[in-house]
Amino acid sequence: MFKDFLKQLDSSLIEVKEESEWSSNILADGEKAFVYYYHTDSSAKAIILDATNSLYDWVYPQLPEDLSFFKNGKEWLATNSHEQECYILTEDKNEIDEVMNIKGIKASLEE
C-alpha cells in the first residue's frame, strides 16, 4: 500500500531527501530515513484526504510516517504519528482560536 500511495502523489512530488531529522522526529545513532516533500496542490489534497481520517494513521508500512505541513516556508503542522502527538506552530490568534474550539479535540497551549 505504501508504494501505491506514493505513486498516486507523483505529480506533486518536489524531492526526496535522506535525513536523520524532520519536523517531529530525530533519529538516533546516525540512522536515516527518506523524507518526501510535496506541493500541497489540489491533487495532493484529495489523495491525502482520501487516505485516512486521522493524523495518527500516518504510520509505515501503510502510509508515510509523520505527516507535516509548511506555511510560508515554515513548519505549520507537525505530527509524530506513533506517539499520537500533533503540533500546530502558529502565532496567528485566529488559527489558535479555531483549533482550540474544535469539538472533541484535546489541545493545550504552550508558550
pLDDT digits (tens, 9 = 90+) for 36-69: 999 999 999 999 999 998 889 999 899 998 999 9
Strand 21-22 and strand 33-38: the pairing is unpaired
Count of structural domains within the chain: 1
Domain assignment present for residue 64? The answer is yes
Say if residue 105's pLDDT is above 90.
no
CA separation, residue 69 to residues 5, 55, 64, 66, 104 (Å)? 18, 12, 13, 10, 22
Whole-structure pTM value: 0.83
Q: Which domain holds residue 22?
A: 2-100
